[in-house]
Structures are given as C-alpha cells and as structure tokens.
Structure 1
Amino acid sequence: MHADASQNGIFEVLLNSDKHPYFQQDYDHTEQANLKKLYQLSQNQLLWFSSKHPVQAINQLLDMYANAPAQGLVSSDYAMQHLKARWQEIQQTNPDLYQFAAFDTALSLTFLRYLSDLHYGRVPPQLQGFRLEQKKIIDLPSAIYGAIQIDAVNTLAADMEPKLKPYQLLKAALVKYRRLALYFQKPLHFELDQSLNPDQWSTEVSKLHLYFDALNTPLDQPIIANNNTDNFY
C-alpha cells in the first residue's frame, strides 16, 4: 500500500509540473492533458515497464525515433539520443522509483508528440494552400495505452501514418533522396553556362553521368560508382 501511494505521488508531481524533468520546454496544454489521461488509464502506474515485454517495447520505440527521418520527421524532436542514454543508464544501474517514472513518462510524452506529428503533421495543410478537410481527432492516450498492453507499438504507428497517395509518393521519394544524400556526402555542383545537346562536350558531363546512375539505381541494389570519364553528352 505504501509503495502504491509513493508511486502515485511521484506521478502526480511529474504530471502536474510545468515541464518534464528531462526537457527544457514547458508542456503545452494539450500534451499535458493527454499525458495525464494516459496515466489515469494506467492508474498512475509505470506504463512501459508494466507491458508484457518492456525491453522489446522500449527498444521498438527508440528505433522508431531513430528512423523518424524516413517519415520526414526529425529524431532529435523526440529526444532520441537523450532517451537512449537514459535507457542504457537504467539497464546498467539500480534506479529508484522516481527515475523509472521519469523515464516512463518521457517515453509516453515523446510518443504522443511523434504520433501527433505523424498523423496530423507539423504544419496545418491549410496554411500551405491545400484544401483538405480537418482530420478527425483521435484519442491518442487510449490508443497508446491499448497498444502497449498488446505489444503493438509499431502497428499503432503504422496505423497513424497518412494513407493519402501524395504522402506515400513523397515518402518513397524521401527514401531515394536520403540515400543520394548519404552517397554524395559532398554535394555535387554543376557549372553549365548553357543547355547541352547530344554529342556536345563538357567537363560536367562525367558528373552528370555519376548522378543519373545513382538516381536510377533501384533501392534494393547498391549504388556502384561509374568511372566513365567520357565528357560527351
């Protein structure tokens, strides 16, 4: 009974503070309300550590944040490196109840942010001139709570991903251009004073060949450097 009261008190402090101890920015009203609702569902108990397979669930979440760029998101927005370091610390030491609760709520807070960014976007499409209907508000706390109970964190994230065809096309293009960015660690610069016609010569043609070969290489095949130094277009 004493342990339950102590744990409940720790969660009350964490959830009613102006900001989470891991982060400098204050909670905004919506995310704090969602975080409180999530822990009301778990009766102010550890959420991630009470799942069937806590290590697997936490590792899946951190991997999701590491792969955020594949969704056009930024890993650092979800404190991926900081959470990863804290996770290693928890596994290698003997943390107290407050440390467990702080880490548990940090995972929940960042997952709420991630799913919101993934589903609703960072910028309202209406501000960009797109006449799209407002998306239906989803009960994210209930969705997260249910997913953790059945080890379905990745499934929930996949369900939250937009299904519009333009989004899927952009996502596929993003994978291709992220690979190009990794391959060409130094950006290619083309210096062409005028358009090139077939059989014209330019010192830039070999670089163009290199770029187009990389661009057209299927994603399931490695990019092979083209040593063609022929400068005829």
Structure 2
Amino acid sequence: MYCPISLFRFMPRLLAVLLICHWAVAGADETDAGKAIETLLNSGRLPLLARADFSEQRPALARLYGANGNRPLWFGAANPAQNREQALAVLRNAADDGLDPRHYDAERLAEYARQAGSAPADAVAGYDVALTVALLRYADDLHSGRVDPRKLDYPAQLGTLRPQPDLAAVLQRHLHMQSLAKLPAELAPDNEQYRLLKRALADFRRQTPNAAAGLAFARSLHPGDRDAQLPELRRRLRELSLLGSPAAADAGQTGDEYDPATVAAIMQLQDQQGLKADGVIGRQTLALLNQSVPEKIAAIELAMERIRWLPESAGGPHIVVNIPAFQLWAFKDTQDQQPLRMKVIVGKAPENLTPMLAEDMKYLEFMPYWNIPKSIMDKEILPKLEGDEAFLDDQDIELVERFSDDEQAEDIVADLRQGRLRARQRPGAKNPLGRVKFVFPNKADVYLHDTPGKAAFNRDRRDLSHGCVRVAEAEKLAEFVLDGQEGWSLESIRQAMAGPKTQRVSLKKSVPVLFFYATAFVDRDGQPRFYPDIYGYDAALRNALNKLAPENGAQLTSKLNATLGG
C-alpha cells in the first residue's frame, strides 16, 4: 500500500484535531447531562421509575450529585463500569434479604443500562438518577424496614432506636472504593436471628414447592391408628429432617399404621414448636405439617422486616420472648448456643394482647404483692364480691385506702368501683404472680412473672393472660438474671422465693428484655420453626407492605392462604 510521506507528516496534527473534537462532544454531552440532572432533581419526579415521586430521596440526591458537580455517577467513560454492575446486582439480589427486586425497578434499570451507550444525554441523566434513587430506597428499606412500626400502633421505641446511617455518605464511600457489593452486609441488621432467617430463606427458595394436597385426617390421629395418608406423612417428616429414610423391609415405615418411629418424629416436631409432645396429630400439629414452602417464605420475610425495627443486638445477657411461639429465650450473649429456654403464657387474643417492646429489666420482687388493675377489679372481682362478702378474705385480698383519714368506707363495692379504694393480693399460694416478678418499667405496665397455675403450660395454645407474661421456670430465670450479682446464689434465690415477706432486688446491671412477634424463628439448632399468627399481626403487616407495591400492582409478599392453629 502506497502512502505519501506528506500524509505521515500531518498524522499527529490530524489525531490531535480528532481528539479535540471528541473531547468537545463529550464535554457537551456531560454539560447537557448535568443540566438534565439538575432539572430532574428540582422536579422531584421521574417517570422512568414505577414510583415516580422521589421527594424523600431528594436531600441525599442533592448531596451526591452536588459533590460530583451534577455529573452522572454511574454512566459515562469517567465512571467505572464495576460500580454500575455491582449496583444493579445488589438490586437484583434484594430477595436475599426478604425484599422484592420489583420494588426497586431492578429489571427496568438493567434495561436502561443496556440502552445508555446509544442514548442522548438527557436520557442518560434520567437513567443515572433512577439508579441512584432505587439504590437509596433499597438501602433505607434494608436498614430500617419498609413499614414504620408506629403506623401499626406498635410502641414508639420500635423503629427509632437504631442509629440511622447517612446514606448519601455510605453510597459516596462505596462508589469511591468500588465496593458496592458490600452494601447489603453493611446495612442489614447486625442480628444473629436475622442472619439465621436469611440462611433459612435461601434454603426454602431452593426447594421446589410441594404440589401435593394437604393432609386431612377425619379426626385426631393417635399412636397405633391406621390411615392411608401415613406414607405422605412420613415423606413430610423426612423433608423436615425428623425421620430417616425408610428401610424397604420395614413395613412399619411404609404401611398405613401410625407406628412408633413416626410417633417419635411427631413428638420431636411438637417439642420443637413448644406444643404438648404427646404424638397426637391434632389441628395445630396438622397445620404445621401442611404449611407450604411459599407460606414459610412469606413468614420469614415478615420476621426479617420486624427485625429491622429493633435496636442493635445487646452484647451481654438479654431475654427474648417470642409472643406467638409462647417461648422465652435467655441468652448470656449474642453467640450463646445453648440459651435458657422455657414456655410462657402471653396475653389472650384479641382483648388482652401482650405488647411488643424493648426495655431494660431493673429489678426483681420476690414474694410480690399483686396490685389488682381496675379493669380486672371491675370485670372479674367485683361481680364475685357482690355475691360473696367473704370473697376478699378467701383470696387473701386486702384493701388500701385512697381517701383521707376522716372519711369512712361505707360501701366497699362502690368505693372500689369509684376508685376510692384499691385492692392488692397478699403474697402466697393464691397470688397469681407466684413467687417472683421481673420488672422492666414500661408504659403498658407489663412484666414477666411466676404463676401457681402450672397446668396451663401443657396447653398448645397459651394466650391466656391479661397481658403480662407468665414463665414456666421462674427459679431458673431468677438465677439467670442474678448470675454474678454479689450475695445471690441458687440457694438464696430459693430462700427468697419461699420467704414470708416481699423482697425487692435491684439489678447491678440491667438486662435488656425484648417482647417480639415472629411466626418464623430459627432456634440455635439451626432449624426454622413456624408459629400461628395468634394476634393477626402478620396479616396486618402483609397488608401494609402490599399497599407499598409498585404501580404495576405486584404483591410484595407471598400470600398466606392458611394460618397455623386457630
């Protein structure tokens, strides 16, 4: 090929001219994109997104783009492609944390990214802002939850105790370090139960939903009974890792008899769930066996949402009551693999609900008085007193005057009803608080306490109280709370619980107490448990989440077509 020498002489000058032209075009595009970004930020709306209104994100957006001279953050030669790819991957994988990628426009943003290379500057500006808005929404939801618990009438401290991160600063740092893949780990709750639920969620997502019809027995199934559905029952128990593979020659593992091995597996399931472990398959045990994979996934997603409302995990001893599980766990620390665990009785649905709360236990009272609330006095005690003047003495109830010394009580029932007298029950065998109560001051005036009525702990469904939480093993809980406190041992605790007088013990170090509500919970053996929605809180939270669905109407959580128990 012939090329005149004169052309080589002019080649450097030609290349310089071409580069200047390219830079001029690129600069013009960048200027146009900057103006388009500024216009978008001022408008507060972006039709590219399913939820066009991004006014909540405007302050963070102004800081992010202002620090960048209103230039694009994700698109263009000046921005590393790795940042954009990692950001899109984070949104696509939102389901890993129980969130829905559709809520963050994950697929349409990926399509915008594919179009950006040939799109005009104003379109690229829109794509860029859309990605930033989606990432800010995701980051806020992952850290703090999608629903404000106060809108569901939960206590004000839920949702307000966790420090709120500066999301603009967080994104800016990860953009600079090209480390956006680490964003979920940084913003998700630092909570062991959250991590266990996330792992369980991934396991259930890998399972193929069972299309088999639900088990349905004509009546409760007792050991030794026969039913044609026993092979299917065993298959489900194997899915739950409660029953080994059947031996081909063992007719008891393949036939229609409810055999001892299958009974033992059912009893293990019942014990895990806090049910009466009698091997009888009644309504609640059957509901557990029939719960589908999508229903379990939905319950886990809701439990993870509620954990986002909670304060940071306590570092030392702490107590957790899961209301629908009717269970209490007392942990020595966040890594305690063998916490103290016991059955509890919670407030009766729907009139005496035990509240969700997070408070610090300050003291114990051994052999406590029971100051009878006026609501209980009016509804339960006064009707008995009106028909039996000796009722108060029989129940060891004493009256405490509220009027001045020169006034006289002429009608006890009327004075109690009008509040001129109050009543309290003396310590002793008849006192419903038992031998010790555990106090963490709160607006609902609820506490943990012992009870003389031990038989109720054998019931499967234990929402029976007026709102306080009765514990099955008060002595063990007192030992846990007073562990390490000078002057207290198991022997001294027993003496205090048998003493004739009330004794208050202030804790040298308060113990955090959490009353939580989760129909999905992973115990320290790593096995997920599922519980009945006794208060209807799952249904309420699911409805609140679905109201936040994108404008395309997609449901954000799986629908639960059945609840456990009744």
Answer whether TM exceeds 0.5 for this pair: yes
| Partner Cα separation in structure 1 for residue 177 and residue 136 of structure 2 | 18
| Partner Cα separation in structure 1 for residue 77 and residue 222 of structure 2 | 64
Q: How many residues align?
A: 221
Task: Kindly indicate whether the alpha-carbon contact (under 8 Å) linking 2:41 and 2:62 is maintained by their aligned counterparts in 1.
Answer: yes
Give yes or no for the alignment of 1:202 onto 2:199. Answer: no
Task: Kindly indicate whether the alpha-carbon contact (under 8 Å) linking 2:83 and 2:180 is maintained by their aligned counterparts in 1.
Answer: yes
Once the 2 structures are TM-superposed, how far is the Cα of residue 97 of structure 1 from its aligned partner?
1.5
Residue of structure 1 equivalent to 2:178: 151
Pick aligned residue for 2:214 from 155, 164, 189: 189
- Pick closer, same or farther for the CA change 1:26–1:62 going to 2, 3 Å: closer
Task: Kindly indicate whether the alpha-carbon contact (under 8 Å) linking 1:53 and 1:151 is maintained by their aligned counterparts in 2.
Answer: no
| Partner Cα separation in structure 2 for residue 51 and residue 175 of structure 1 | 37
Residue of structure 2 equivalent to 1:98: 122
- Cα deviation per residue 1:164-202 (whole Å; 9 max; x = unaligned)? 23322332332233334xx12536422123333344332
Once the 2 structures are TM-superposed, how far is the Cα of residue 114 of structure 1 from its aligned partner?
0.4
- The residue type equivalent to 1:69 in the other structure is A
Residue of structure 2 equivalent to 1:220: none
Give yes or no for the alignment of 1:72 onto 2:72. Answer: no
Once the 2 structures are TM-superposed, how far is the Cα of residue 40 of structure 1 from its aligned partner?
1.1
- Pick closer, same or farther for the CA change 1:213–1:160 going to 2, 3 Å: same
Structure 1's unaligned 5+ residue stretches are 218-223
Residue of structure 1 equivalent to 2:88: 62
Once the 2 structures are TM-superposed, how far is the Cα of residue 105 of structure 1 from its aligned partner?
1.1
- Pick closer, same or farther for the CA change 1:129–1:201 going to 2, 3 Å: farther
Once the 2 structures are TM-superposed, how far is the Cα of residue 16 of structure 1 from its aligned partner?
1.2
| Partner Cα separation in structure 2 for residue 143 and residue 95 of structure 1 | 29
Q: Which has the higher helix share?
A: 1
Identity over aligned residues, as a percent? 27
Residue of structure 2 equivalent to 1:123: 147
| SS, match of residue 216 in structure 1 | coil
Task: Kindly indicate whether the alpha-carbon contact (under 8 Å) linking 2:45 and 2:53 is maintained by their aligned counterparts in 1.
Answer: yes
Give yes or no for the alignment of 1:179 onto 2:206. Answer: yes
| Partner Cα separation in structure 2 for residue 18 and residue 145 of structure 1 | 21
- Cα deviation per residue 1:92-121 (whole Å; 9 max; x = unaligned)? xx2222222211111110000001000001
Task: Kindly indicate whether the alpha-carbon contact (under 8 Å) linking 1:60 and 1:153 is maintained by their aligned counterparts in 2.
Answer: yes
| SS, match of residue 220 in structure 2 | coil
Task: Kindly indicate whether the alpha-carbon contact (under 8 Å) linking 2:74 and 2:83 is maintained by their aligned counterparts in 1.
Answer: yes
Residue of structure 2 equivalent to 1:43: 69
Once the 2 structures are TM-superposed, how far is the Cα of residue 141 of structure 1 from its aligned partner?
0.8
| Partner Cα separation in structure 2 for residue 68 and residue 24 of structure 1 | 17
Residue of structure 2 equivalent to 1:166: 193
Residue of structure 2 equivalent to 1:16: 42
Cα RMSD between the aligned structures?
A: 2.9
Task: Kindly indicate whether the alpha-carbon contact (under 8 Å) linking 2:41 and 2:61 is maintained by their aligned counterparts in 1.
Answer: yes
| Partner Cα separation in structure 1 for residue 80 and residue 240 of structure 2 | 41
| Partner Cα separation in structure 2 for residue 103 and residue 128 of structure 1 | 38
Structure 2's unaligned 5+ residue stretches are 1-26, 259-566
| SS, match of residue 47 in structure 1 | coil
- The residue type equivalent to 1:148 in the other structure is L
- Pick closer, same or farther for the CA change 1:160–1:148 going to 2, 3 Å: same
- Pick closer, same or farther for the CA change 1:113–1:184 going to 2, 3 Å: same
Q: Which has the higher strand share?
A: 2
Task: Kindly indicate whether the alpha-carbon contact (under 8 Å) linking 1:190 and 1:204 is maintained by their aligned counterparts in 2.
Answer: yes
- Bigger radius of gyration: 2
Between 1:189-198 and 1:125-134, the stretch displaced more is 125-134
| Partner Cα separation in structure 2 for residue 103 and residue 9 of structure 1 | 14
Once the 2 structures are TM-superposed, how far is the Cα of residue 53 of structure 1 from its aligned partner?
7.0
- Pick closer, same or farther for the CA change 1:216–1:89 going to 2, 3 Å: farther
| Partner Cα separation in structure 2 for residue 212 and residue 157 of structure 1 | 35
| Partner Cα separation in structure 2 for residue 66 and residue 108 of structure 1 | 14
Task: Kindly indicate whether the alpha-carbon contact (under 8 Å) linking 1:48 and 1:148 is maintained by their aligned counterparts in 2.
Answer: no
- Pick closer, same or farther for the CA change 1:117–1:8 going to 2, 3 Å: same
Task: Kindly indicate whether the alpha-carbon contact (under 8 Å) linking 1:10 and 1:98 is maintained by their aligned counterparts in 2.
Answer: yes
Once the 2 structures are TM-superposed, how far is the Cα of residue 30 of structure 1 from its aligned partner?
2.5
Between 1:63-72 and 1:24-33, the stretch displaced more is 24-33
| Partner Cα separation in structure 1 for residue 127 and residue 199 of structure 2 | 34
